[in-house]
Structure 1
Amino acid sequence: MDIRFEEVNFTYQPKTPFEQRVLFDINLEIPSHSYTAIVGHTGSGKSTLLQHLNALLKPTSGRVILGNREITPETTNKNLKPLRKKVGIVFQFPESQLFEETVAKDIAFGPKNFGVSEEEATRLAAEMIELVGLDASYLDRSPFDLSGGQMRRVAIAGVLAMEPEVIILDEPTAGLDPKGRKEMMDMFYRLHKDKGLSIILVTHLMDDVAEYADYMIVLEKGKIQKDGHPREIFSDYAWLKEKQLGVPSATEFAFRLMDEGVQFSQLPLTVAELADELTANIKGDLKKHE
């Protein structure tokens, strides 16, 4: 499902003494099957923008086009349910939303709420628990008897059971240790590749942007400051420093080496790319001295 914002503005409590404009003239396009990262400091408008992606909020002016649906200030809540099925949101600490007595019932709750039969919802629960890296033995357990990481996987399985076309990840690895964070991000990347899901990742972890995203949007005070391929944006080191935004750890190290005279064929974004570039440099130096 393609997503497009056209001159979108959003104001909380318009025409009141508490009026606060949060989004300013947002124009962006997120193609189907893409992996887009949205970064920006607290207060940049990220959460408000996210809530436009399944019409939880509607623009004060402009329009949001979600697949074949157009959302404008005049759009009513009528018939938005099918749209919200297509866009799944994984909020920070999604495990806090678990409430059913078994894992199977929790995963099946969403589909049943959208009219799916008991039999089909049960099938979806069994399929999705496997997708998130847990086996069928978890289905009859209480979600509250699981570890924090397992509870988070169950909550994500519940989102996936809705069979969305787009998954929005709002700081999905908050509170996880490095191993758990990598497992979680790898899982989402497999879903993106194997299931063709569009992923929209909101994060402050630039290593994750470099490792997984093919497009990047930088928000500041409700405006898009830059957008493009992560390599293009991370190459503007001075601008990122000025905006107090980080770069991936491998890129940071590469810039230090460049200050020492090391040259790269392309700016490394990940540890693997950095290793490949350094290996190529070493081989080049060896050839010169043969």
Structure 2
Amino acid sequence: MAGVGLDDVSLTIHGGEYTAIIGHTGSGKSTLLQHLNALIKPTSGTVTIGDRTITSATSNKNLHELRRQVGMVFQFAESQLFAATVREDVAFGPRNFGVSAADADALAVKMIARVGLPADVLDRSPFDLSGGQMRRVAIAGVLAMQPEILVLDEPTAGLDPVGRREMMALFAQLHAAGQTIVLVTHQMDDVADYADRVFVLDQGQLVKQGTPQAIFQDADWLLDHQLGLPRTTQFALQLRKRGFQFAHLPLKSAELAQMLAPQLGGQAHE
């Protein structure tokens, strides 16, 4: 697949998986995301979503269903809110796609609950809510379209640590319920904690792919490509310099603790 900012990128995102796309700023991540629902089209090659294939010749007509199928949550999604009430904002997408007013309202009620907001926000102005709540409203609006694929472009940008954890927990719940998720992020802890598969972009090319466990073993390569590591992995590297041994670099704190236990016990008896 080739397009604006991308060069011969070929990859497969499987239904039901939680896929992370990482790369430094300008690597082509957002361009790739915009191909997923034909916001931009490949200048050569193809993009296939389900049974729909997009090429450079694809007409912009009849792309409604594809854009319902692939829900996009852009960075600072709350900036796209516009309606007088939360209820109207969340129901707007379904109404625009031909859903009846009653059914769209029911979807708004359901999705506001799904993103963890109380029902009493429905008749409030979204602009009276906190930033984190506004972002949840924007996500509820995307979910109301009942997409098969949820695409998230830096969805926790600007949130405090508690808000970030809550937002990632929400996406984990959606994934556990069967939602296919594609996440672009600079937060390597989130990649380690949630992703099934990782694609690494650099200068518009796909340069690495695999499980988080496989990707984060090559710490020097990641750092050379201006990418970070999960905090636990960074700590393990520091411990390795102090003589601790690891069969492989751990990604999560529980895994690190399990690896350290026998070594710390051995030291304690010396």
Q: Given the alignment, which residue of 16, 20, 27 partners 1:37?
A: 20
Give TM-score scaled by structure 1 length: 0.89
Tell me how many residue pairs correspond in the alignment: 270
Q: Secondary structure at the match of 2:246?
A: coil
Q: Given the alignment, which residue of 136, 139, 146 partners 2:122?
A: 139
Q: Secondary structure at the match of 1:23?
A: coil
Q: Given the alignment, which residue of 79, 98, 120 partners 2:81?
A: 98
Pair 1:270 & 2:270 matched: no
Pair 1:221 & 2:208 matched: no
Pair 1:199 & 2:192 matched: no
Pair 1:9 & 2:2 matched: yes
Equivalent residue, structure 2, for 1:166: 149
Distance 1:281 1:144, change over 3 A: same
Q: RMSD of aligned C-alpha atoms? A: 1.6
Q: Distance in 2 between matches of 1:77 and 1:280?
A: 61
- Range 34-43 or range 108-117, more displaced: 34-43
Q: Distance in 2 between matches of 1:146 and 1:272?
A: 36
Q: Given the alignment, which residue of 59, 63, 67 partners 1:84?
A: 67
For structure 1, the residue ranges without an aligned partner over 5 or more in a row are 1-7, 12-21
Q: Structure 2 counterpart of 1:214, which letter?
A: D
Q: Distance in 2 between matches of 1:10 and 1:72?
A: 10
Distance 1:135 1:244, change over 3 A: same
Equivalent residue, structure 2, for 1:3: none
Q: Structure 1 counterpart of 2:2, which letter?
A: N
- What is the correspondence of 1:111-150 to structure 2 with a 5 Å cutoff? 111-150=94-133
Aligned partners of 2:148 and 2:179 also within 8 Å: yes
Greater percentage in strand? 1
Aligned partners of 2:199 and 2:209 also within 8 Å: yes
Equivalent residue, structure 1, for 2:160: 177
Q: CA deviation at 1:273?
A: 2.2
Equivalent residue, structure 1, for 2:48: 65
Q: CA deviation at 1:289?
A: 5.4
Equivalent residue, structure 2, for 1:236: 218
Q: Distance in 1 between matches of 2:261 and 2:101?
A: 56
Q: Structure 2 counterpart of 1:192, which letter?
A: H
Q: Distance in 1 between matches of 2:125 and 2:262?
A: 52
Equivalent residue, structure 2, for 1:186: 169
Q: Distance in 2 between matches of 1:190 and 1:259?
A: 38
Q: Distance in 1 between matches of 2:262 and 2:18?
A: 29
Equivalent residue, structure 2, for 1:154: 137
Aligned partners of 2:24 and 2:225 also within 8 Å: no
Distance 1:189 1:280, change over 3 A: farther
Q: Distance in 2 between matches of 1:280 and 1:156?
A: 45
Distance 1:78 1:247, change over 3 A: same
Q: Structure 2 counterpart of 1:166, which letter?
A: I
For structure 2, the residue ranges without an aligned partner over 5 or more in a row are none
Q: Given the alignment, which residue of 238, 247, 257 partners 1:256?
A: 238
Q: Distance in 2 between matches of 1:35 and 1:140?
A: 33
Q: Distance in 2 between matches of 1:45 and 1:238?
A: 22
Q: Distance in 1 between matches of 2:221 and 2:74?
A: 30
Q: Distance in 2 between matches of 1:277 and 1:152?
A: 39
